[in-house]
Every structure is written in C-alpha cells, then in structure tokens.
Structure 1
Amino acid sequence: MSSLLGFLCVLSAFTATGYSLTCKLCVGQDSSSCVGTTETCSPDHACGAVRTVTKINGNEMNLYYISCVAVKECNSPGSISVPIGKIRRGTSCCYTSNCVPPAPQLPADDKEANGLFCGACVTETSTDCSAEGIMECTGKEDMCLFQTTLTTGLLNTQEALRGCATKSYCNIAKQSVKSAEMNVELTYSCTPGENHTAITPTGQDDPGNSHSGHSPSATLMSILLLFLLCSKW
C-alpha cells in the first residue's frame, strides 16, 4: 500500500523520469519535510522544486515536491483558471546532483480582469470538450488553454478542460508518467485570449460534456485527494 501511495503522490505531480543528473524525489510540505528517494534525469532536466496551490469551489490544497524537472519549466511560474477553480504553480531549479532548489515563487493570485475571454468546459468522459460558456481571464492569464488527460492501466479515464492560462503553462506542451501500474498522458495547447465578441460557445448539452459551472472533473478531484494522501506519505 505504501509503495502504491508513493507512486500516486509522484503521479499527482505529473513528472517524468529520465537519465543523467541525480535528483531527490519526494513530496512534503516544504524542503525541510520533503523526504524520499532519488531518481536520475534526462539531459534536458534539472533538480526542481515545485509548489502548487489548487483552489476549487473555495477549498484550497497545497503541494510541495522535488523531482527532475524539464529545464524549460524552471523559474516559470504559471496558473490555470476554470470557472470552478484555479491552479497556481511555481518552479525553482538547481543544476548539480542531489542539490536542494530554492523555495519556488508562486504567481500572484491576481483577480483583476485583463480584458480577454476564453471558452470554458470540463468533461470526465472524453479527451475533447466544446466550449459551453465564456469565462473572463484575469492577471497574466492571456491564453486560452485546452488540456487533455488520458489515463490507462490501474485507472482508465479520459478528461478534458478549457479555460484561461499563462503562457508558461502552454509552453509545457506535453507531460507523461509511465509505470507498471499506470500511464498518464497530458497535453496542453493554447490560443491567444480574445475579446468577448470574438468567442462563441459551441458546445451542446450531451452526456459527453459537463457544464463548466457544475462539479469539478475527476482529474481535479483526484488531485485534491492525492494532496491529502501525500501529506501523510
């Protein structure tokens, strides 16, 4: 059970194992409480510390972890917003084996409208969802994000969401986790935010779509649950 829980906690961070640099691999509240093993990274990865704050329907969860992180993600704070919540992510890196990165800085929780709008949807049954509504973007979230999550193995799910995001999230493009128990593939694609009149919701009421104002997707709810589990790992 503990090994599976450890895997799930790492899975919740959506990191990939590679080769070369050796980095600490752990989940905790901060650097002093982050205890775990080590992993080797691919040549284009560094030792990264990531702090994520997820707020959904007024409930907030925090996660801190250290692992191999793609160099392009270092020192690039970012955020994603959907009508039911927001995820803020900060990443810091160091570049020698088993180093401890400095404390990552989260982007500000900026609620000021920036004049841009994106289509919004959340679905738990497909890797596609049509924009059923329009949401107003805030702060530095000037991109319209389409994110898909495909999980196979121990769990089999297909999920998608649309909302506002910073360009730093869009730059990730793709992440994956592969193990004997489970494979998770995430993709991020973005278009520039537009003014209100340029966006027309295209979704229709059908079983494959869930309204953006309703309950969170399984992915978001799973993240919240894993945050609770990881705090006890």
Structure 2
Amino acid sequence: MAWSCSLKSLLTVFVFTVFSVSSVESYQCIEHLCTSLSCPSTTSVCSTTKGCFNQMQKFDTPSTITDHMLKEKGCYTDTCSAMTFSATLGDQRRFIYENRCCTSEKCNQEDITPPSSSEPNGVECAACYNEKEKSCSSVTTLKCTGSEKKCIEVTGTAVETSTLRLYGKGCATENACNLKTNVLNGIQIQASCISPVSNHGNPALKSISSAPIILLLLKVLL
C-alpha cells in the first residue's frame, strides 16, 4: 500500500513539473545590430522567456566622419537594466545612451529617437574635450540645455588595454553622476559631477554687480 502511494505521489510531482515548464510564456523579440549611421532595414527575431531589449548609443561630433552610432535589439537571457543619460562636452561633442527593457511580443520593434532640447536651463559648466591627455589646455563655458542640469567630468578608456580614449567636461543629466559603464563596444567611461560655473567662473563679479544695490539700500535705510 505504501509503495502504491509513493508511486502516485511521484507521478503527481512529475505531471506538475511538466505542466509548470510547458506553461512558461515564450514570445519573440526583434533582433537587430547596427554600428553605422545608415542602419540596414533587415531584421530577424529571437525567442525568449525573459524579455526584449532595445538600445541606442549616439556620439555626435563636429563632423559626420567622426560620428558614431550603435543600435542593438534582441532577447536578454538574464537581466535587463533600463537606463537613459546624455552628456554634452566641449568641442561640440555630445553622447546619448538609452537602453529599454520590455516583456511582450516584439515590444522592441520601434527605433529609439534621441531626445534633443536647445532650451537653456540656467546651468553653466566648464567644458573641454581631449583624446590624448587627461587634461584640457583650453576650457570654455557651456550653457546647459534641456535635462542636462549637472556639470560633469568624464574619462573614457579602452576596455581591453586601459589606454585613454577621451577626456572631457561639460553638461550632463543627473544620473550620469558617479557613472561607470561600457559604451560603443569597447570604451569604459567613468564620470563624476563637478561644481557649476558661477558668473562665468569669476565669483568677484557677483560681489561687484551687487554693490550698487547694497549702497542704494543703505541710503534708503539711513
């Protein structure tokens, strides 16, 4: 009798396990990789039980010859971390990064459109850019726009060799502070936020400009 009960219990566990495995939802994601400014329209699909990802990286420079673009879509097998940040450095360099995660049929089909805003937000940062040394001989003042309300200092090194690839200062979104991540298939960037420029970098100007107002208030009070 005990042997019969054991067989029934074992059969029940087996049937439940098979049912659980077969009931795991599986769906398709768009699979696509583009490493140039003119991306091909051809795509394929992959099957997943986890989710889809959709990533866009764009590095704008003064010349389209030196611009970089990376678009990648597919299935993720472990975890996916959604993240969006941007930074505008000196010498007209701007980097935009966005990674989206979703969990439905072909939910990563639409291309990501890079956000853009030319509306000044009142923050001014020291700005420069250098690909040879971790310093800048010439620093300008950059008026930040849109959601880039933090001043940033960033260093980029090659992942495999740790050689310097870029160094710069400028404006960035708040989540770029204390950021360390790999971008553009081979560059590790490490960023930290720094103090903004006050009155174009000259605190004395603030005292001089406010002096006539203080004298006027004293005359009224006296």
The aligned runs of 1:32-111 (5 Å cut-off) are 33-34=42-43, 47-57=52-62, 59=64, 62-66=69-73, 70-73=80-83, 76=84, 78-83=85-90, 84-95=92-103, 101=108, 103=110, 105-106=112-113, 108-111=115-118
| Change beyond 3 A, Cα 1:128–1:34 | farther
Q: Which of 191, 196, 199 is the matching residue for 1:196? A: 199
Q: CA deviation at 1:111?
A: 0.8
- Select which of 115, 118, 121 maps to 2:122: 115
Q: 2:170 aligns with which of 163, 169, 181?
A: 163
Q: How far is 1:142 from its partner?
A: 0.2
Cα distance change, pair 103–25 in 1 and its aligned pair in 2 (3 A): closer
1:92/1:102 contact within 8 Å kept: no
Separation of aligned partners in 1, 2:30 and 2:190: 26
The letter for the 2-side match of 1:175 is T
Rounded Cα–Cα distance in structure 1 between residues aligned with 2:112 and 2:40: 13
C-alpha distance in 2 between matches for 1:199 and 1:165: 22
RMSD: 4.2
Shift of 1:141: 0.6
Shift of 1:136: 0.8
Give the 3 Å change call, closer, same or farther, for CA 100–116 of structure 1 in structure 2.
same
* Residue matched to 1:139: 146
Alignment length (residue pairs): 166
Identity level (%):
20
Q: Residue deviations 1:103-123, cap 9 Å, x none?
A: 364453111111111111112
TM-score, normalising length: structure 2: 0.54
Q: CA deviation at 1:72?
A: 4.7
Q: Could you tell me how far apart the structure 2 residues matched to 1:193 and 1:160 are?
A: 18
Cα deviation code 1:186-229 (max 9, x no counterpart): 212124645434578xxxxxxxxxxxxxxxxxxxxxxxxxxxxx
| 2:188 corresponding residue in structure 1 | 185
Higher helix share: 2
Residue 147 of structure 1: how far off its partner (Å)? 1.3
**Structure of greater relative contact order (alpha carbons < 8 Å, 6+ residues apart):** 1
1:174 counterpart residue number: 180
**Equivalent pair of 1:53/1:63 in contact (CA under 8 Å):** yes
Q: CA deviation at 1:55?
A: 2.7
Tell me how far 1:145 sits from its aligned partner. 1.6
Aligned residue identity for 2:156: T
- Any conservation in 2 of the 1:34–1:65 contact (CA below 8 Å)? no
Structure 2: gaps of 5 or more residues: 1-28, 204-222
Rg larger in 1 or in 2?
2
8 A Cα contact 2:153 2:192, kept in partner: yes
1:128–1:148 contact (8 Å) kept in structure 2 = no
**Residue 62 of structure 1, CA deviation:** 4.4
Alignment partner, residue 155 of structure 2 = 148
SS of the aligned residue for 1:196 comes to coil
Residue 154 of structure 1 deviates from its aligned partner by 6.7
Q: How many angstroms apart in 2 are the aligned matches of 1:109 and 1:92?
A: 18
Structure 1: state its 5+ residue gaps: 1-22, 201-233
For residue 97 of structure 2, give the secondary structure of its aligned residue in structure 1: strand
